[in-house]
Structure 1
Amino acid sequence: MAGKRAVSRNTLPDVIANDLRERILSGELAEGEIIRQESLADEYDVSRMPIREALKRLDAEGLVQFTNNRGASVTKHSLPEIAEIFDLRILIEVDLFRRAIPAMTSTDFALCYQLLEEMDASYDANDVGKWGTLNHQYHSALYAAADRKLTNDVLQGISLHSDRFVRMHLSVMEQREPAKKEHRDLLRYAEARDVEKACATLRDHITRTKDALLRLVAENRALAGDQAN
């Protein structure tokens, strides 16, 4: 048997990638914004190597567009692409929810109620970043009983992109109360094992968010003089 092999644990690129990811999701780094490696290296007080590694990871996630010779920029989705992100969410999440509801246990419901309480607290504190994380955890908890690992892996990547726009939606538009009600309705129908009402509510919930976001993004881009879709 071969001897033990040394494994390099590059934690610094992970830390930088996590921070940059959050800055992109929160809108601090805006869509289309040029990311200069030299500036980031100075900001994080590191060499350019971990910056490059972090950007490559975000490129793999689709949050930045990175090339060796041309640098990087924050990914900017067209309006049809944004619509597609939410259409994919509807297809995948409704299927997962339909499969999960008959298998949900008291433990699943208890976790969902706990997350709802934490979401309400983040609403009241106007902590959009924390709400975004809890929103993702809540939806994941609703679907966990479906036990569809490969489908969930696909959904993770899609949710990462939708989270950018969902946070924008919550921070700019007064949609808190409808979202709170819909989240509780989803759990109420799931507890009642009413699959059809639960899935219809989920479909309407994501569609409403999609339609509002497309209007918001289109208006913002028009105000900025951006003629591209």
Structure 2
Amino acid sequence: MAAKRAITRQSLPDAIVSDLRERILSGDLAEGETIRQEALAEDYDVSRMPVREALKQLDAEGLVQLTNNRGARVTRHSLSEIGEIFDLRSLLETDLFRRAIPQMIQSDFARCEHLLEQMEASYDANDVSRWGALNYQYHSALYAAANRSLTNELLHRVSLQSDRYIRMHLSVMQQREPARKEHRELLRLARDGQVEQACALLSAHIGRTKDQLLALVAAKRASEEAVGR
């Protein structure tokens, strides 16, 4: 019998949400895959009630779609929707960055620098999961001084949708140095107060990721369809 998945006993739904979210973002649970409450309850060695609550939260986050009262399906976005996710990121992030740069102080720059160092270590260690989490934290740190809580809430939801595609991109990307350099340059431009140049680079950074990802996902799906015929 397969080993049960160990989870923290405090707040079972939250613990299950965290684990399922990571399984979705890492690709362990693939887009379109059916998730059944009974199987998850057995997998986590819990009743179906905390599993049901966890699936409701993931449905609210847009990572799964409830199919009936017994399960869900991992959300599968169309290519158009994936493009829209990154377009939204660009709109929200450039607005936040433009507002944040004039307000950034030394502690903001120090926080960004610290996260950059951790990101670069994760690059070198080929730790895609850690890089994905640090990438979100770094971008959030760049915009924190904007102090726009509602925009950040919207961005958090959009970023959850984009994270699994970013991880997919990083896992196959042979040349990661451009992304590393762009992250460093974003911080340099912010330090120098070059608002428009920083926002232009950020927009290009997100746009390049979007274009490469759309090509990657389109090729992956075409290959899967060919195998399925």
- Tell me whether the two structures share a fold, i.e. TM-score over 0.5: yes
How many angstroms apart in 1 are the aligned matches of 2:123 and 2:105? 27
The residue matched to 2:13 in structure 1 has which SS? helix
Offset at 1:175? 3.8
How many angstroms apart in 2 are the aligned matches of 1:69 and 1:53? 11
Map of 1:20 onto structure 2: 20
Letter aligned with residue 133 of structure 1: A
Offset at 1:68? 3.3
Offset at 1:67? 3.6
Superimposed CA distance per residue, residues 144-168 of structure 1 (whole angstroms, 9 cap, x where no aligned partner): 0111111101100000001110000
Superimposed CA distance per residue, residues 12-47 of structure 1 (whole angstroms, 9 cap, x where no aligned partner): 011001100000001110000011111111110111
Map of 1:59 onto structure 2: 59
How many angstroms apart in 2 are the aligned matches of 1:58 and 1:186? 32
Q: Compute the TM-score of the two structures, normalised by the length of structure 1.
A: 0.93
Letter aligned with residue 180 of structure 2: K
Task: Say if 1:175 and 1:70 are closer, same or farther in 2 by CA, change over 3 A.
Answer: farther
Superimposed CA distance per residue, residues 41-61 of structure 1 (whole angstroms, 9 cap, x where no aligned partner): 111011111111110110010
How many angstroms apart in 2 are the aligned matches of 1:115 and 1:185? 14
The residue matched to 1:35 in structure 2 has which SS? strand
Letter aligned with residue 26 of structure 2: S
How many angstroms apart in 1 are the aligned matches of 2:185 and 2:113? 12
Letter aligned with residue 28 of structure 2: E
Map of 1:94 onto structure 2: 94
Unaligned runs of 5+ in 1: 1-8
Q: Give the 4+ runs in structure 1 shifted more than 2 A.
A: 67-71
The residue matched to 1:66 in structure 2 has which SS? strand
Question: How many percent of aligned residue pairs carry the same amino acid?
Answer: 71
Aligned length: 218
Q: Compute the TM-score of the two structures, normalised by the length of structure 2.
A: 0.93
Map of 1:3 onto structure 2: none
Residues 210-221 of structure 1 mapped to structure 2, 5 A cutoff: 210-221=210-221
Residues 201-216 of structure 1 mapped to structure 2, 5 A cutoff: 201-216=201-216
How many angstroms apart in 2 are the aligned matches of 1:137 and 1:10? 25
Deviating more after overlay: 15-24 vs 170-179:
170-179
Unaligned runs of 5+ in 2: 1-8
